């Protein structure tokens, strides 16, 4: 499926359950929000999104604890979880997806190589996290992360 088809499927699923969504994006830079808002009628479901590229923005806009980032890093399960719950709370949505990762070509390490992406999902108060390692260049990693986020959120709300 294309990203447009995935976004349409997610919107239909959320709409059928009378649910709203929000997004909090770092390495994808708003690609999830863009995919969602490309679909006519998205405003019935999509409440809003925030691009939080810096650690300070994650703290100030989403309520991620500075200590979480200091202890685990911006690209971590803990940060993704706090980003997702913060987006749902701050934006006022039934569910949210958060994405934080290393799209490259720089920034990777032995523990967190380029292509490491953590996803946080908040669905009606319950949060889950997943880590996926994507291959490819920066563009490919960001596109794959966007598709993964749309697909997984759809599965989780079904």
- Residue 82: per-residue pLDDT: 98
CATH number at residue 83: 3.90.950.20
pLDDT in the model for residue 5: 97
pLDDT per residue over 44-78, tens digit each? 999 999 999 999 999 999 999 999 999 999 999 99
Dist CA 13 CA 32 (whole Å): 16
pTM metric for this prediction: 0.97
Closest by CA position to 120, among listed 101, 102, 138: 101
Number of domains, the chain? 1
Q: For residue 77, how many C-alpha atoms fall within 13 Å in the half-sphere facing its CB?
A: 6
Q: Can you give the pLDDT at residue 45?
A: 98
**In terms of residue numbers, what domain contains 113?**
3-157
- Residue 117: strand pairing partners: 101, 132
pLDDT at 2: 96
pLDDT tens, residue order, the chain (158 aa): 999 999 999 999 999 999 999 999 999 999 999 999 999 999 999 999 999 999 999 999 999 999 999 999 999 999 999 999 999 999 999 999 999 999 999 999 999 999 999 999 999 999 999 999 999 999 999 999 999 999 999 999 99
């Amino acid at each position: 499926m294309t990203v447009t088809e995935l976004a349409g499927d997610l919107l239909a699923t959320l709409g059928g359950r009378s649910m709203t969504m929000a997004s909090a994006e770092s390495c994808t830079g708003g690609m999830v929000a863009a995919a969602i808002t490309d679909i006519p009628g998205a405003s019935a479901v999509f409440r809003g999104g925030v691009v939080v590229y810096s650690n300070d923005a994650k703290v100030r806009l989403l309520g991620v604890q500075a200590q979480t980032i200091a202890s685990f890093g911006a690209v971590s399960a803990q940060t993704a979880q706090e980003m997702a719950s913060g987006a749902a709370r701050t934006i006022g949505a039934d569910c949210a997806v958060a994405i934080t990762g290393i799209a490259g070509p720089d920034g990777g390490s032995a523990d967190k190589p380029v292509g490491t992406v953590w996803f946080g999902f908040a669905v009606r108060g319950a949060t889950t996290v997943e880590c996926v390692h994507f291959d490819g260049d920066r563009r490919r990693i960001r596109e794959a992360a966007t598709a993964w986020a749309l697909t997984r959120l759809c599965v989780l709300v079904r």
